[in-house]
Structure 1
């Protein structure tokens, strides 16, 4: 898969890029959830039928964060993870369009003329709720009108599950409630967080449960504080484990910072400085403060056993 960064105004000679007949799925696609996969899959099907490349056009940073909705600085799939998922779906090209003030103020007509037509698209595939142009005043109907027959537009209906449409908003809400089962269903996979293993206080070793203190590479939507059954990708291998997301109230006072501490079963390698990707498989319990270290240790033992049982039935 070829990744092509774009910024407005587009200079076709500034960097190597694909320009020509192609089918483009367009949208922000934060989460690349089942609804997004439906749009992208439809573009891939159409591209195969027309014997053309299948492309995705996405935007970075998240358009809503640029428009002042700061919670969207935290993403379900930061850009590197999004690229990994898109590659796994079989996309040929991905255009990462810088969403800035100049792009934000384009009219729908300017976006069609100066971006889509410039790339030579043959067909656009978008979701039913796709908007574009200044203040989101363009929609799929607008896109059809402005195409003037130069490219076709295919609009994908909402992906419905449990009587509700699958959306990035519903996934964010489920994460904040600790409803990991729902998150996995809506994504079509486990929610994951990647980061580098950094030095911590090493308290886990002193109480018999060494942990990897993971510092996320990018700004993720942080799930509800608590303990989770996990799968961790370390140096090309899977390991099962348990992870605490939270502020460690038993130990910490003063300013509290969210930490991600994973204990991996049957694992003793030194992985400081390594990148680890953790998949959240199941929510075990909320984080809480313990009256003593002994009480904490006993609870961690229970968490580890619960995690092993939960993972054995799910995986």
Structure 2
């Protein structure tokens, strides 16, 4: 069972109860993509070899958000989603460091002496491009020097796919362009958001395609507006469906934020107030305005058939 520690700099000296974070991997790990999984997997494996707990150190809020980069107000894996994924990967301890403006001024030396040493680390894993301390002055080489034989440092090389370095930025770019299959390729799993089913305007039911309106409360990166083939996990079971993500232009909507409306195939239970998980499997088309409701209904029918076929092929491929 993974435990989560909320940490604030500086940490008190070790209390003599043994190392709480024997093997530690450090990073933002937003998305927990395949490159991140390489670092995390190495740390978990080393922890098992040494019979020490395998820990992850991450930062909240996202450092770039504190630096004022607006796009980082939305994340690939908000903290609850990141916790769940790390638990699935076998991590024993998650250390969430409060990243504040004062923490930004901590020197590399202070970070090691007043954060890592008190944690009793045996081995630290970092990515090749890891930086730490004020203005990113610390590098993996700096960390090796500051360790001074008190703990080992392992630097993990970049992880490449299709000739590109896998990164959170690459995943974001894919999602914002609607390329959800590419994002899944980089993540090692379909991209998903979680939310609560809320009451909508009832139009879907009136035109023969009842929808579950999903309100996303965590600050997820949301893919490009459009129509998607999706898998929706509800009550522990995955249901195939088609989702419109957008502002409903056919009905003259003045929505500023996109709405997620999923029509689930062969499912008509009421799930208002329940949490669901939406996995984006394939982009079908862009959202657009139709001249009549009848034209919209015909298009939704075509979208639903395409989504059902795509998901049937997807499930068949997974069974092979």
TM range (shorter): over 0.9
Range with bigger deviation, 217-226 or 252-261: 252-261
Matched residue count:
313
- Residue 8 of structure 1 contacts residue 102 of structure 1 at CA under 8 Å; is this kept in 2? no
Aligned CA RMSD, in angstroms, stands at 1.6
Residue 130 of structure 2 corresponds to which residue in structure 1? 130
Residue 164 of structure 1 corresponds to which residue in structure 2? 164
1:25 aligns with 2:17: no
TM-score of the pair, normalised by structure 2: 0.95
CA distance in 2, matches of 1:301, 1:88: 37
Unaligned runs of 5+ in 1: none
Residue 288 of structure 2 corresponds to which residue in structure 1? 288
Q: CA deviation at 1:284?
A: 0.6
- Check 1:112–1:13 CA distance in 2 against 1; reply closer, same or farther (3 A cut): closer
CA distance in 1, matches of 2:149, 2:162: 37
CA distance in 1, matches of 2:295, 2:13: 63
Matches within 5 A, 1:33-112: 33-112=33-112
Residue 267 of structure 2 corresponds to which residue in structure 1? 267
| 2:231 counterpart SS class | strand
- Residue 18 of structure 2 contacts residue 120 of structure 2 at CA under 8 Å; is this kept in 1? no
Q: CA deviation at 1:5?
A: 1.1
Unaligned runs of 5+ in 2: 316-320
- Residue 126 of structure 2 contacts residue 156 of structure 2 at CA under 8 Å; is this kept in 1? yes
- Residue 53 of structure 1 contacts residue 92 of structure 1 at CA under 8 Å; is this kept in 2? yes
| 2:223 counterpart SS class | coil
- Residue 18 of structure 1 contacts residue 119 of structure 1 at CA under 8 Å; is this kept in 2? no
| 2:194 counterpart SS class | strand
- Residue 132 of structure 2 contacts residue 139 of structure 2 at CA under 8 Å; is this kept in 1? yes
How big is each residue's C-alpha offset from its partner over 1:246-292, in whole Å with a ceiling of 9 and x where there is no partner? 11111134353211111111111111111010000111111111110
How big is each residue's C-alpha offset from its partner over 1:85-128, in whole Å with a ceiling of 9 and x where there is no partner? 10000011100111111211100000001101010000000111
| 1:271 counterpart SS class | coil
Q: CA deviation at 1:134?
A: 0.9
How big is each residue's C-alpha offset from its partner over 1:180-204, in whole Å with a ceiling of 9 and x where there is no partner? 1110100000000100111111110
- Check 1:12–1:299 CA distance in 2 against 1; reply closer, same or farther (3 A cut): farther
- Residue 44 of structure 2 contacts residue 91 of structure 2 at CA under 8 Å; is this kept in 1? yes
Residue 6 of structure 1 corresponds to which residue in structure 2? 7
